Structure 1
Amino acid sequence: MTPTMSLTRQNVRRGTFAAAGVSATFKPVGSYGRLSEDKALKTGRTDREEGEQVATQFKRNRVLSESLNWTIVREYNDNNIPASDPLIVRPDFEQMLKDLESGVIEGIVFTHSDRVARLEYDAARINRLYTINPKLVGRSVDGGTDLSTVEGRAMFMMQATMGGVEVYNTKRRTSGTNLANAEKGRRHHGRRAFGWNSDGTLHPEESRLLAAAIRAVPGGLRVGNFRKQLIALGYEPRPDKRRKEGAAKYNLQHSTVESYLVNPAVCGYVAYLAQADRRGGKKVWLPDHVLYVDGQPVKGNWPKIVEPEEWAACVETLEKRKQDRKDGNQQPHDTSDKYVLSGFVRCGKCSFPLLANPYTKGTTAYEKWGYRYACLSNQGGCGGITRVGPPIEELVIRVFLAEVRRSLGVVTKAEEIDETKNDARLREIDKEIEEVNVRRRERRISAIRALDLIEELEKEQNDLRRERRKLQALKVQREDASPNLLKDWDGYSVSEKKQRLRQSIRAVMVHPAGRGKRFDPELIEIVWA
């Protein structure tokens, strides 16, 4: 909202300007301008200037107000904000309503009613103010709208209603076109996805980071670790119509980074989710919206970042972590790790989990060891065990790697896992669902019976698709077995090392040693899984 001259609520009311040397015919009004999408803000557009179309609206509003002997005292600018989305708040529109109600302005001018309202609700809010205060004025440059009359307000409401219908029909046609394109594997030309350039080619840096993270998740990489890596590299949330440029800065959200990892597009799969479904209030899990035709996932016409098996392994791992948190087997905010044995190491006296905590900074123990594992009585333990952390971890890792070398060649080979074993049944389910729909349309079965059958088939279908992802994940884990583990161990993050240890070690028991005694490996007991 831009004031065009200095005014107060008291002297802006009509009739108070004569004493101040201002004409008694002075009529302070507001000028409203809006554009749903400013093309100048699109990436790569250099042929337009930001706000130039709204500026043209203001210019036309000014000509109209001068012809009516009204004075524009404030401009309300909602550039790049749609009026047809009930979830998006237009800040200057809201301020304009407040100013109309309080008397800061005595009317508005606008180019057309669809610039002001495309929802019946918004039109009704405007009409309410004009009904309460008949002295308010309001005119449009185009369309002949006059808000000061009953007929004009009726026309305004009708135009808003028809505008909403037009928007709905446009969205419906667009949704149908998008689905048809998705079924053909065509790339959706919307906002640039992380990992690709605007033209659909791979972004060299982002695709490299994303591929490495997806491949590392089954081995223990946490979403929080990847998020920290992106933040350290300078990645920030992109502005949108709800979060404008210049808004308060904040870091990438956990859910945003997670969506990068589970996006089916990274392995070339097409996901389709109607806009209405995206706004159901429930968090969208894109792996559940992969588009299938004849029981097979539709593949897109863009370059993939990882193989489908690698993506499936990442998704399956994250789904298991979510389920573990839901079941209470993992801390709710355990998104990154600092200590290799946290969650494994236990007290040899009472079996309570030992908690890792740093020594006091500046002490000799802090300089030499950094942290310790302790059984804390105030957390429910006996308080009888405290042991420096690094020597225990070094011992456990050394024993674990020795066991890995000993067991080389024992694990199941990746080629022995068949992730396609349910594909034939998935194709059958698609045909059975279509047969049920045909019988329902021919009134051979009731709608209720058809819904029961379809829901049962869809449940089986979803279960088989999840099983397919699990088999793909298991195949990747087998390919990432012992030889790679030994070669890559030093490059693993703490989370990845913990994941490998968790597959083989159930617990590490630390038995009492007595105060002041040297570290004794015999008092560290490894319980293998």
Structure 2
Amino acid sequence: MDREAPSPRADEGRGVGTSPSRPPGEGVAVALKVAVYTRISRDDEGDGLGVARQREDCERLADLRGWAVAKVYEDNDVSAYKRNVRRPQFELMLSDLADGLIDGVVAYDLDRLARQPKDLERLIDLFDERRRRVFATVTNDVNLGTADGRTMARVMVAFANKSSHDASRRIQRKHLELARQGKSSGGPAPYGWQSDGRTVDPVAAEHIRAAQKQLLAGVRIGTIRTDWQRRGLGHPREGTTRLPHHLVERMLTNPRLCGYRTYRGELLLDDDGRPVIGQWEPINTVEEWEAVCAVVTERKQKYPGRSLARKYLLSGIARCGLCHSKIRGQVNKPRTANSKGATFSYQCSVVNGGCGKVGRAGESVDEFVISLVLAEQRERAASTTVQGADEPWPNAPALADVEADIAALTQAAKAKEITVSTLLQLLPDLERRRDELKLERGRHSKTRQQSASLSVDTIEDFRILPIERQQALILHSLSAVLIHPAGRGARRFDPSLIEPVWH
């Protein structure tokens, strides 16, 4: 069991076999206090057995040397080779060693401590400061307190670093080969699939599709994230309860959803320029996935770095009938202590650049606008059904021609019919055109699917929707709502002073 390190002592620089200063007559020497450091790069089972075995061997070695184990520092499932990985317990051990809380270090092997030369040098610096600090490993005899020992340690870490680099290169090559074959690279199955990573989990897949429909209907990813976190969906990394925004966005736009294989976050293409198809069941069609990606891309382009959260239905939609500035919703202060509930109004504000002369009770305006929009959309739906307006994307032949041209050029270069230089001159324009057409196809799919999702029958159904979807329904029919002045004094709501501006 880990024991907390005792406080620093004045005799922290002594070596093995020396005795600390003690009161006269006391003949018992105080054992050196050492740290045991254990680490393993991967603990797939999560049971910590690897570091437990290291700990037992290190404690046995410390006992043979006559040292007392002050504390065990454990970094389980943590790499010492990756530069962007911080080892919390390693850093704490170095800090305690520098502060004199421990007199030395025992590790199973030198490569458990360091696989990057810079980490070893930090440790060597501490042993240079106090040469009598002790150091030992179970598998070899390296003494960081001597020049020969430090030289040997540097050589060993350099070879360990090269070994890690070679292994990393082989693993990357293996993952690329698996990716080109459409296979998974291992690891936990993504949300939406069962543990085998191939078979769709019907419950999780339905949650993904429902969230995508919400996204198409105007709901923010932040709102979906909050709902998922409340319901415990999306299984974030085990041991955490937080579901990051970027993770939810990734779950809803992952190319894997429509069967496409990625490598290092990028869509992987075969030799003919076509997406590599993975060996798993898809959740979306390509058309559905492209529509969702188009929504996310357009929002980022239109509102870079801005929050799309809204509290009131017509905020940013309603405009003043006098100065035409945008009107925001605001809470009304209760006039008396007995006033029932908080109300809100739409008010033209001087602070926001308006004239400040127009305001209206918000509930009545919302109710009137909602009834107008729902009636218009019912008429539109009936007209669309009669006319059969669900037409296919008209540029599908153009995209097929561009993809065929890319494939033909690639094959010609392979067959030595054209030079690589010629290929690289012709490909960029074709690839740019292909990407433009795919984005256009995604927008077309988005429009068709949005039309299907923008369907609400009653005001009650409308009210239970998230505010973003309510606004999307309004903006599907209206570009703005003009609120005209009503004059002074309390008056009944007059619909004629609310002017909808239809698309």
TM over 0.5: yes
* Aligned length, in residue pairs: 489
Q: Post-superposition shift, 1:22?
A: 6.5
Shift of 1:480: 4.7
Partner in structure 2 of residue 338 of structure 1: 311
Please name the residue that 1:413 is paired with: 389
What's 2:321 paired with?
348
Q: Deviations over 1:118-137 (max 9, x none)?
A: 11211222222233433222
1:212 maps to: 210
Give the aligned residue type for 1:38: D
Q: Give yes or no for contact 2:376–2:477 (8 Å, CA) kept in 1.
A: no
The 3-state SS of whatever aligns with 1:378 is coil
Asked if the contact 1:4–1:72 (Cα under 8 Å) also holds between the matched residues in 2, the reply is no
Q: Show CA shifts across 1:92-135 (max 9, x none).
A: 21122223333332321111111001112112222222334332
- What are structure 2's unaligned runs of at least 5 residues? none
Map of 2:155 onto structure 1: 158
Equivalent residue for 1:429?
406
Distance 1:154 1:12, change over 3 A: closer
Which digits, 9 at most, give the CA deviation of each residue in 1:448-498, with x for residues without a partner? x987766555544443433332333234345557xx455875664321232
Alignment of 1:85-484 (within 5 A): 85-200=82-197, 201-234=199-232, 238-239=236-237, 245=239, 251-273=242-264, 289-293=266-270, 294-326=272-304, 332-334=306-308, 336-360=309-333, 367=340, 370-407=343-380, 408-410=382-384, 413-418=389-394, 420-421=396-397, 422-430=399-407, 432=409, 458-477=431-450, 479-480=452-453, 484=455
Of the structure 1 ranges 71-80 and 468-477, higher mean CA displacement relative to structure 2 is found in: 468-477
Partner of 2:35: 30
Aligned partner letter, 1:79: N
Once the two structures are superposed, residues 271-329 of structure 1 have per-residue CA deviations (whole angstroms, 9 ceiling, x without a partner) of 221xxxxxxxxxxxx5xx22233343333232333322222111111111111113xxx
Of the structure 1 ranges 253-262 and 229-238, higher mean CA displacement relative to structure 2 is found in 229-238
Specify every segment of 5 or more residues in structure 1 that has no aligned partner in the other structure, as ranges.
42-49, 274-285
Q: Say if 1:153 and 1:256 are closer, same or farther in 2 by CA, change over 3 A.
A: same
Change (3 A) 1:128 1:2: same
Equivalent-residue separation in structure 2 for 1:363 and 1:234 (angstroms): 43
Counterparts of 2:229 and 2:451, CA distance in 1: 32
Amino acid at match of 1:96: M
SS of match in other structure, 1:296? coil
Cα contact 1:83–1:90 (8 A) shared by 2: yes
Distance in 2 between the 1:455 and 1:358 partners? Answer: 55
Between 139-148 and 469-478, the greater mean CA deviation after superposition: 469-478
Conservation of the 8 A alpha-carbon contact between 1:295 and 1:424: no
TM-score when normalising by structure 2: 0.86
Q: Distance in 2 between matches of 1:125 and 1:452?
A: 51
Q: How much is the aligned-residue C-alpha RMSD, in angstroms?
A: 3.3
Cα distance in structure 2, aligned partners of 1:527 and 1:22: 96
**1:428, distance to aligned residue in structure 2 (A):** 2.6
Question: Secondary structure at the residue paired with 2:351?
Answer: helix
Q: How many angstroms apart in 1 are the aligned matches of 2:428 and 2:119?
A: 39
What's the offset of the Cα at 1:83?
Answer: 0.8
Greater C-alpha radius of gyration: 2
Preserved contact between residue 406 and residue 427 of structure 2 (Cα < 8 Å): no
Q: Give 2:478's aligned residue.
A: 505
Native 8 Å contact 1:436 1:454 kept in 2: no
Q: Pick closer, same or farther for the CA change 1:502–1:365 going to 2, 3 Å.
A: farther
Alignment of 1:65-80 (within 5 A): 65-80=62-77
**Whole-angstrom CA distance in 1 between matches of 2:200 and 2:494:** 53
In structure 2, distance between residues paired with 1:65 and 1:226: 54
SS in 2 for 1:73: strand
The alignment partner of 1:19 has SS state of coil
* Offset, 1:156: 1.8
One-letter amino acid matched to 2:469: E
AA in 2 matched with 1:9: R
Q: Tell me the equivalent position of 2:8.
A: 8
Residue type of the partner of 2:22? A
Alpha-carbon distance between aligned partners in 1 of 2:307 and 2:318, rounded to the nearest angstrom: 20
Task: Check conservation: 2:13, 2:133, Cα contact below 8 A.
Answer: no
- C-alpha separation in 2, matches of 1:93 and 1:267: 43
Q: For 2:429 and 2:27, locate their aligned partners in 1 and report how far apart those are by CA, in whole Å.
A: 76
What letter is aligned with 1:152? G
- Relative to the length of structure 1, the TM-score reads 0.82
The alpha carbon displacement at 1:184 in A equals 2.4
- Contact 1:215-1:310 at 8 Å conserved across structures: no
Amino acid at match of 2:171: T
Tell me by how many angstroms 1:528 deviates.
1.5
Residues 360 and 366 in structure 1, CA contact (< 8 A), matched pair in contact too: no
Residues 1:363 and 1:11: Cα distance change in structure 2 (over 3 Å): farther
Identity rate of aligned residues, in percent? 30
* Offset at residue 3 of structure 1 (A): 3.1
SS at match of 2:383: coil
Moved more, 252-261 or 202-211: 202-211
Q: CA deviation at 1:365?
A: 11
Q: 8 Å contact 2:402–2:430 — kept in the other structure?
A: no
1:403–1:377 distance in 2 versus 1, CA, 3 Å:
same
Deviation string 1:11-56 (CA, Å, 9 cap, x unpaired) is 5543563415464583332211111122332xxxxxxxx3232121
